[in-house]
Amino acid sequence: MGIARTFQNIRLFGELSVLNNVLVGFHCRGHATWGEAILRLPRYRREEADRRSRGLALLASVGLTEAADHPAGKLPYGHQRRLEIARALATGPRCLLLDEPAAGLNPRRPKS
């Protein structure tokens, strides 16, 4: 329906990489079928390449590019909050509801 939200209690896939957490958000917008994914057909590969590119762009927008390959569960709290926002944005919402988005965040953005 075009609405995404973040939670006060962070809900990330801790064992997945930062980038893979963002890629999870894109899967609701994919058009490739399960069969195309299993067989890794061209449409699936194109969609995955596009998702990866857009995911890296989202990570850049929240200052997490350098952490793309790190496990999400190992990130500091503030980085996890920003990752959760990036993943919510990956769903392509018209409206993004943020539940205490600045809780635990430093007002100064770290240098990339």
pLDDT tens digits for range 33-42: 889 989 999 9
pLDDT band at 6 (very low <50, low <70, confident <90, very high): confident
pLDDT in tens, 66-101: 999 999 999 998 899 999 999 999 999 999 998 876
pLDDT at 112 over 60: no
Residue 48 corresponds to which tokens in the numbers above? 């995955």
What is the three-class DSSP state of 17?
A: strand
Report, as an integer, the average pLDDT of 45-74: 95
- Which CATH superfamily includes the segment(s) 3-97? P-loop containing nucleotide triphosphate hydrolases (3.40.50.300)
Where do the structural domains in the chain lie, given as residue ranges?
3-97
108 Cβ neighbours under 8 A, 6+ residues apart? none
